Structure 1
Amino acid sequence: MHASNFDLDRYLQRIGHHGNAGPDAATLHALMRQQLFTIPFENLDVQAGKIVSLDPEHIAGKLLGGGRGGYCYEVNGLFAMALQALGIPYRFVAARPMFYPARRPRTHMALVAEAEGRSWLCDLGFGSYGIRAPMDLQALDADIAQDSDTFRLSRDEQGEYLLTARVDGTWTPQYAFNLSPQEWIDFVPANYLNSTHPDAIFVQKRVIVLHQPAGRLILAGNTLKTVADGQTETRQLAEDEITQVLASHFGLVPPQAERS
Structure 2
Amino acid sequence: MIAETFNLTDYCQRIGYAGELHADLATVQALMQYQLRSVPFENLDVLAGKPISLNPDDIVAKIVDRQRGGYCYEINGLFALALQALGIEWQFVAARPLFYPVKRPRTHAALLVRVEGVEWLCDLGFGSYGIRAPLRLEVLDTPVQQDSDTFMLSEENGDLILKALVEGEWARQYSFNRCPVEWIDFAPANWMNSTHPDAVFTQKPLVVRFTEDGRNILFGDAFKQIAGHTVTKRTIAAEEQAMLLAEHFRLTMEA
Q: When the two structures are superposed, what TM-score results if normalisation uses the length of structure 1?
A: 0.96
Counterpart in 2 of 1:163? 162
Q: Tell me the SS of whatever aligns to 1:128.
A: coil
Identity, % of aligned positions: 55
Counterpart in 2 of 1:199? 198
State the distance in 2 between where 1:87 and 1:230 align. 38
Q: Tell me the SS of whatever aligns to 2:102.
A: coil
Structure 2's unaligned 5+ residue stretches are none
State the distance in 2 between where 1:20 and 1:226 align. 32
State the distance in 2 between where 1:22 and 1:2 align. 20
Counterpart in 2 of 1:225? 224
State the distance in 1 between where 2:14 and 2:68 align. 11
State the distance in 2 between where 1:104 and 1:136 align. 25
State the distance in 2 between where 1:230 and 1:208 align. 20
| 1:135 maps to 2:157 | no
Counterpart in 2 of 1:208? 207
Q: Is the 8 A contact 2:163 2:174 kept in 1?
A: yes
Structure 1 residue 255, shift from structure 2 partner: 3.3
State the distance in 2 between where 1:33 and 1:127 align. 15
Structure 1's unaligned 5+ residue stretches are none
Counterpart in 2 of 1:59? 59
Counterpart in 1 of 2:148? 148
Q: Is the 8 A contact 1:162 1:177 kept in 2?
A: yes
> Matches of residues 1-260 of structure 1 in structure 2 within 5 Å?
1-156=1-156, 158-256=157-255
CA RMSD after TM alignment: 0.9
Q: Tell me the SS of whatever aligns to 2:184.
A: helix
State the distance in 1 between where 2:91 and 2:173 align. 20
Q: Which amino acid aligns with 1:185?
A: I
Q: Which amino acid aligns with 2:152?
A: R
Structure 1 residue 64, shift from structure 2 partner: 0.3
State the distance in 2 between where 1:153 and 1:33 align. 20
State the distance in 1 between where 2:91 and 2:247 align. 35
Q: What are the Cα deviations for residues 38-91 of structure 1, in whole angstroms up to 9, with x where unaligned?
A: 100000000101221111111001000112000000000000000000000000
Q: Tell me the SS of whatever aligns to 1:129.
A: coil
Q: Which amino acid aligns with 1:30?
A: A
State the distance in 2 between where 1:199 and 1:33 align. 32
Structure 1 residue 223, shift from structure 2 partner: 0.9
Q: Is the 8 A contact 1:208 1:220 kept in 2?
A: yes
State the distance in 2 between where 1:130 and 1:238 align. 27
Structure 1 residue 235, shift from structure 2 partner: 1.2
Q: What are the Cα deviations for residues 3-52 of structure 1, in whole angstroms up to 9, with x where unaligned?
A: 11110001011111111111111111111011000100000000101221
State the distance in 2 between where 1:97 and 1:69 align. 21
Structure 1 residue 199, shift from structure 2 partner: 0.9
